[in-house]
Amino acid sequence: MTDTSQAAEKAKIHEGKEADHHPYFRPRDAATLILVDRSGTVPKVLVGKRHDKVVFMPGKFVFPGGRVDKDDHRVPCAAPITAELEANLAKGSPKTPASRAKSLAIAAIREACEETGLCLGRKAEGKAKLEGNWKPFADAGLLPDPSSLFLIARAITPPGRVKRFDTRFFTADASAITHRVDGVIHADAELVELVWVELGSKPLADLHPMTRNVLNELDARLATGPLRHDAPVPFFHFYGGKMHKDILS
């Protein structure tokens, strides 16, 4: 067995042991955004380094993301999510309604702006009517624009974890970034550094195993050319103590 295979096997065993520690918790909807720069020969993705003193994954490189907020579906947008993306988000059981599909896409954009200062938006007609976490968009006269998002994968945290998420992993090209908020990344922030790294590079080797699974899916899709909504969308979930990969339909 190669070193890579051994490491993968250990990761699977480790996940299995962790899944026995807590009673059942219903997973909460969450969204992650993987921004991709394809201007060079090898695609690069944006990762942020977490603060060394945070409880969850200190010092690790992560992608921006987080839990869906109850008001995300009410946020006005510069454009609707595409019909193809809405259809992909609706796949699986139970079906995801249109309002929840919008919430997931908007949550990915909101979390990316909150954690990295990078905003995917478009100029709004008149003054943008946004409040709270959307202030950076309002200040720049923008409304969030989910029309550039693609769904790469869906994954549910194994049973037995103290926190469980039903996460949709989105991707968007770096060209969709229309505004940058200064001062979000600093020594005392949740993310202390942002780095564009090539797929397959060292900072990505230490990612959570599930995130690496999603990145492998993204890498395979990028290798075929421009991203398409009609590509199969994998669904990673755990059953009987083992991870299963299905295709959403």
Peptide bond just before 23 cis, omega within 30 deg: no
* Amino acid identity for residue 34 in this structure: I
Residues 6+ apart with CB under 8 A from 212: 204
Q: What is the C-alpha to C-alpha distance for residues 136 and 146, in angstroms, rounded to an integer? A: 16
- Per residue in 207-232, pLDDT (tens digit) is 888 888 999 999 999 999 999 999 99
Q: Can you tell me which residue has the tokens 């590079």? A: 201
Is the pTM higher than 0.85? Answer: yes
Segment holding 8, helix H or strand E: helix 3-18
Q: Are the C-beta atoms of residues 177 and 120 closer than 8 Å to each other?
A: yes
37 Cβ contact list (under 8 Å, min separation 6): 43, 44, 45, 46, 173, 174, 196
Length of the chain (residues) = 249
Secondary structure letter of residue 52 according to DSSP = T
pLDDT of residue 189: 84
Domains belonging to the chain, first-starting first, are: 3-247 (3.90.79.10)
For residue range 9-41, what is the model confidence (pLDDT) as tens digits?
Answer: 334 333 434 444 555 678 899 999 999 999 999
> Looking at residue 17, what is its pLDDT?
42
8 A C-beta contact, residue 203 and residue 60 = no
Q: What is the rounded CA–CA span in Å between residue 61 and residue 204? A: 7
